Amino acid sequence: MHTPVTQRTFLSVALASALALTFSSAQAADIKARNVKFPIVNAIDHPQGLGAQKFVEVVNQKSGGKIKIKVFPNGTLGGEQQVAAAMQGGTVEVSMMSPAQLVGTVKEFVVLDFPFSFASEKQADAVLDGPFGKKLMDYMPAKGWVGLGFMEQGYRSISNSKHPINKLEDIKGLKIRTILNPLYVDMLNTLGANAVPMPFPELYSAMETKTVDGQENPETTVDASKFYEVQKYFSATRHIYNPQMLMVGKKFWDSLSADEKKIFEEAAIEARDVQRKAARAMTEKSRKVMTDHGMQLNEIAPAEIARMRDAVKPVTDKYAAQLDPELVKAFRAELEKTKDLK
């Protein structure tokens, strides 16, 4: 039995219309062709790079290929401070970095750097993805950025070329590179180290030439940047949990349509979930790579971690005193509420 011509025509038209709707939904929305720069300081196969790639993929898909984002890894467009300034100026559109890099401008972010605050990644997720994380991001637009969400860098620990750190006294005298953040400098100096702040792209050569003895970063960073070539010991101090802020410059954000903003926001959530899972899986893989390349990894007894926490309490108190007491109170309330999440 043959389908009548009119019915076939109708079906063809209906099918063509459905396909057109499917393929042109992005075009029908208010989406412009854009070329976007997305610099990061880590390697493309670092969890930071994986998160960036996922974000690019989702934005590309949701924009029908109109918004093209190019990732620039390995600090090729500069360190975080340079990139953050370029985003304020509008010459760089998107990046991902630790909120700790922004405390010179958004002082409230320093609460996330209070040493030994987060007992687990699950606790960090709950605090950052909830009202408190939103409250922190609300401080950004006035300073020239817009936060889209928190990804993960992980727990920072100390590596060095001299000896393992098993107790507080073992930190004494070590020249440790840290980020350009006063709390980090004060924390390391209080622990007995000589803190040396410098941009990340300069770090490998500084360790190679023994300008510094070591540095503090998560295992995935040590692995991705091949620090095992110039470092012998990695000691799990886990002194600060570092999220990564996926952010855009406000100038760029204000140029986007509502449809484009929605794409960026949805892509940020999808990328966040993929990135965190990858970051946590990669930590274990990175530990194996580090030992395979001759690094000695060691855990630190809970009693010694407690001593370190007590030693840096004056640092936490100093920076807490510089903030709105209500913000600090809200942060501590969130930590208390989520302390049993493992």
Digit-coded pLDDT (tens) for 151-191: 998 999 999 999 999 999 999 999 999 998 899 999 999 99
The answer to whether 109 and 100 are in contact (CB under 8 A) is yes
3-state secondary structure of 78: coil
Chain centre to alpha carbon of residue 319 = 22
The 10s digit of each residue's pLDDT in 81-137 is: 999 999 999 999 999 999 989 999 999 999 999 999 999 999 999 999 999 999 999
Which has the closest alpha carbon to 34: 4, 5, 7, 59?
59
Q: Is 248 strand, coil or helix?
A: strand
- Beta strand residue intervals within the chain, DSSP E: 34-39, 67-72, 94-97, 145-160, 175-178, 194-197, 214-217, 233-249, 296-298
**Domain residue ranges in the chain:** 31-337
Amino acid 342: pLDDT: 85
pLDDT confidence of residue 12: 62
Q: What pLDDT is attached to residue 29?
A: 79
Per-block mean pLDDT, blocks of 10 residues, the chain (342 long): 54 57 59 97 90 97 97 95 96 95 94 95 96 97 98 95 98 96 96 96 97 96 95 97 96 98 97 94 94 98 96 97 97 96 88
The half-sphere exposure of 61 on its side-chain side, counting CA atoms within 13 A, is: 10
Which superfamily, per CATH, for 31-337? Bacterial extracellular solute-binding protein, family 7 (3.40.190.170)
pLDDT at 16: 60
Distance, in Å, from the CA atom of 273 to the CA atom of 151, rounded to the nearest integer, reads 8
Q: Can you tell me which residue has the tokens 């985003």?
A: 87
pLDDT number for residue 22: 46
The Cα–Cα gap between 246 and 97 comes to: 7
Q: Parallel, antiparallel, or unpaired: how do β-strands 233-249 and 94-97 relate? A: antiparallel
Alpha-carbon 317 to chain mean position:
25
Which among 158, 342, 336, 181 is positioned nearest to 232, based on CA atoms? 158
Please answer whether residues 327 and 112 qualify as being in contact, where contact means their C-beta atoms are separated by less than 8 angstroms.
no
pLDDT score of 2? 53
